[in-house]
Structure 1
């Protein structure tokens, strides 16, 4: 009897404590049994113009949250985030509309959801509060003056189970903490409860939601899902693979799951429990891809409670910040197969930017650094060109002498090169070195959020997209023609067909640069200008100062 009284007393004290701490919320809920609008959108002085626009664009009952990083709309039915705008980024260049990352429209869905799950009698996991309407003290929240933390609790009571879902925001951070508190107010039955976190996204993004300036690149960025576990450092799947593949499922103690796209991502950081989480990847209705996790189940005895805490990143893929949150999260930045080189270049570029405060000037400086480091190879290339130029008369004689014997012709030319200690392929080495740098820089420019909408000078307002007037590609074509002219041997200049081909190819090649990021074209222009200067300097040494060719 005493034990029953003790249990009853514990439940009573617990329930009284909850009521005492949240009496305003519970009063509003019990009085109206619904969330009433406590803010007049048109007249409220706490909302600025952009807040009002965002609020009018969402459902009437939704709860609006404004931080220094987000506009967030939470649907009280289920207590899930329905729409997110990022206040540090705009939809398009010169646009005043904030970038919308998460949304729920008839033609496109990108959402994160979380909640409580329990086993039914058939052993199937069910979302316990899926369609339940939560209540809060207001339908608008923002940071209070001189406060860096914003906590927003959502409440619901069902079948003697109190569920408090609290969203915790920190100033200056895109990381959102979600605390799930489950109170078993039943005096008889224990309950087995777990939590889940899920990200859903349409496999095809309609054109109207894409930034057209970033949709013309030759090599497409990765769209799909990714995850990291203790056993698997990083793994990703493209949407088409998931659409064809059956459900993917595995267990892990720690790690993260993510939905990837260019520049931005949403990530669930898996809770660290004594038992393993279950991760799943699957296609749900209407070609929507879903990646999520389910925690292990915990038994909550009558009168007791249990806390589950999960973390959610919604925002830009910032390399320095993400690498500190959880291991390997920075790998969500897709730098392609030359990722190690792209990261190295970005770190150097970012260091230079911290000094000069202009990404375009930083690209110019990093180009100069690369050309200084590769100068010995360039020098060898120009010397090779000069030696080939000097050997052309002898090569021409060999061609005339062995015109009818191709095999002998090749052998004699090879012997000539050996006698002169000449490697004709040495001229390709600088090009071979430049190609990985070129590709790594390309991936860095189209994948680094820091370079999105980054201004340079005059008409170049976005180094990550193409030159709107194609001035840089034209300048690059001219520099390529100059390089080709100086690289020609005397024999080439006397050969009409060879000479014509030399001038046509750079022009054709330049067409590929019309739609490449202007930052990449800028790199190539500076690279070509340095090449011209180096050519002239080395040739001057050779021709006017008895520079020894060896």
Structure 2
């Protein structure tokens, strides 16, 4: 029978194994890009029009678009094609060729701590590309894209103004007119994109709205100590949330039919997403082009009679992984905050963490409070664990005597041990079960702290000015390692094997080294958890000693 100390070791190893599994899931290898650098690909590449087999398998619309007067698109659009829009949340650049969003700054999120430069989500440079495209089949084609006109080059949400409309217009030679209107809202990272179509021709026009995100596949992703996902994701009526990595795109093109749904590009803390109509039957597709991954959707076909008008719309989100804001756009879009298989535990823990922060106005203090709450809520399990360990330690002399008595006769040894456990009213698994019950809660809290964008650049006290990065002076990891060593010294041990003793002695050192690169918010959580365990352990053993003295 393994000692209770061995069971603790098994618990630690199981936690490490589960975390390793999550790391593997989050850090899928990036595919090697087709080219090491962008070579000025055309914007019309991989648009959702599939008269050729491929490009997502999307049917072509028979309405033909005239050749665009616009020149071939280069990687960097000329300044006279760019429209800049500034609100309280966003600074967005729109290319009038196709009306694509080619740049977006998140004004509330500095690029680095104490930086005046905002975090850039979408961008188009000579080396990287991350853009949000949308259009109408039959008007946007691989051969030509509409060159919209804009009334002005700059728009700004004025004080007291709640909505800012940015209209772009385009007219074909046959009389079909399209107004592409971007509606920005105060206090929101979402943008309503409307296509207002007037069929001024003499024939019916059939078209489909499409929207897609395209991003350079090569780039930074998560690390072992910061296991984050960078790539695409989508939702369908059958699958609430599915990641579709750049490697998946390279291996196989996505082609899903669904009612509603959404498509997105994810990175740590931030997301861009297109959300179509919830009642529409949409087609979700993917493609790759010139080292870029593409995920998009195609809305159902709409026929516009001669002389008639029609409005088609979608929503573009560019911002943090704000669960409340995302859920307003789609019932499942908040799942981009990926807590893995323990999401049912992580969601209430995130709510509790946010509640504490609203009370103490400090995310570090909120982490301390939620750790106290969780450890306090599991006190009965902790007491059962330590009580069982203490009882097993007191039985160690009797166990040693049984081993000497029965030698290598394991069957008789096991029978004698079980009789002794029954007589002494000791459950040999009593110290293991509480650990196994607690582990899912602690792992879920780990992912809450890792995934919560609110911790990005959130200060604590003194030298900890960003809870989402490692402690610059490694003070917290060292304190955590010291608390783990103290907790180990206080714990009763029944280990007699010298090799096992050495392994246990090195556990605090191993964990300290591992935690040197962990985000300080996570290290703070483990440190406080250890301190609470030490206090609980001391109190439980003291109460047991008092009871024995009275007896």
- Whether the TM-score (by the shorter chain) exceeds 0.5 is yes
Of the candidates 152, 157, 161, which is equivalent to residue 147 of structure 1? 161
Aligned to 2:53: none
Which one of 529, 533, 536 corresponds to residue 535 of structure 2? Answer: 533
Deviation digits for residues 295-316 of structure 1 (CA, Å, limit 9, x no counterpart): 2332323322211121111111
Alignment of 1:288-307 (within 5 A): 288-307=292-311
* Aligned residue number for residue 15 of structure 2: none
Task: Tell me, yes or no, if the aligned pair for 2:384 and 2:434 is still in contact at 8 Å.
Answer: no
Matches of 1:417 and 1:59 in 2, distance apart? 81
Q: SS of 1:456's equivalent? A: coil
Distance change in 2, residues 1:374/1:271 (3 Å):
closer
Contact 1:77 1:130 (C-alpha < 8 Å) held by counterparts: no
Contact 1:466 1:514 in 2 (8 A): yes
3-state SS of paired residue (1:546): helix
Larger Rg: 1
Name the structure 2 match of 1:225.
Answer: 232
Per the alignment, residue 20 of structure 1 pairs with none
Displacement after TM superposition at 1:75 (Å):
1.0
The C-alpha deviation readout for 1:464-493, integer Å capped at 9, x for no partner, is: 22222111111111111111111134x65x
User: 2: CA distance between counterparts of 1:253 and 1:216?
Assistant: 36
Deviation, structure 1 residue 401? 1.8
Aligned to 2:268: 262
Q: 1:197 to 1:472 in 2, by over 3 A?
A: same
* The one of 163, 173, 177 aligned to 1:162: 177
**What is the alpha-carbon distance in structure 2 between the residues aligned to residue 297 and residue 380 of structure 1?**
64
Find the counterpart in structure 1 of residue 286 from structure 2: 281
Q: State yes or no: 1:479 paired with 2:483.
A: yes
Q: Distance in 1 between matches of 2:393 and 2:256?
A: 64
Task: Report the counterpart of residue 427 of structure 1 in structure 2.
Answer: 431
Q: For the residues of structure 2 that align with 1:309 and 1:498, how far apart are their CA atoms?
A: 65
TM-score, with normalisation over the residues of structure 1? 0.81
Identify the residue that residue 88 of structure 1 maps to in structure 2.
Answer: 108
Report the Cα offset of residue 60 of structure 1: 4.8
Task: Supply the distance in 1 between the matched residues of 2:422 and 2:527 (Cα, whole angstroms).
Answer: 36
Structure showing greater relative contact order (alpha-carbon pairs closer than 8 Å, 6 or more residues apart): 2
SS in 2 for 1:127: coil
The worse-fitting range, judged by mean Cα deviation, of 428-437 and 494-503 is 494-503
Q: Provide the C-alpha distance between the structure 1 equivalents of 2:142 and 2:345, rounded to a whole number of angstroms.
A: 47
Corresponding residue of 2:26: none
Aligned counterpart in structure 2 of residue 401 of structure 1, from 387, 398, 405 = 405
Q: Does residue 454 of the first structure (1) align with residue 437 of the second (2)? A: no
Once the two structures are superposed, the pairs formed by residues 370-449 of structure 1 within 5 Å of their partners are 370-449=374-453
Change (3 A) 1:548 1:67: farther
Q: Would you say the 8 A contact 1:341–1:440 is kept in 2? A: yes
RMSD (Å), alpha carbons: 2.6
Q: What pairs up with 1:115-264 in 2 under 5 angstroms? A: 115-118=135-138, 127=141, 130-159=144-173, 160-186=175-201, 188-205=202-219, 207=220, 215-218=222-225, 220-245=227-252, 247-264=253-270
1:371 Cα shift?
1.5
Q: Identify the structure with the greater helix proportion.
A: 1
Match of 1:74 among 79, 88, 94: 94
Query: Corresponding residue for 1:100?
Result: 120
* Whole-angstrom CA distance in 2 between matches of 1:317 and 1:522: 23
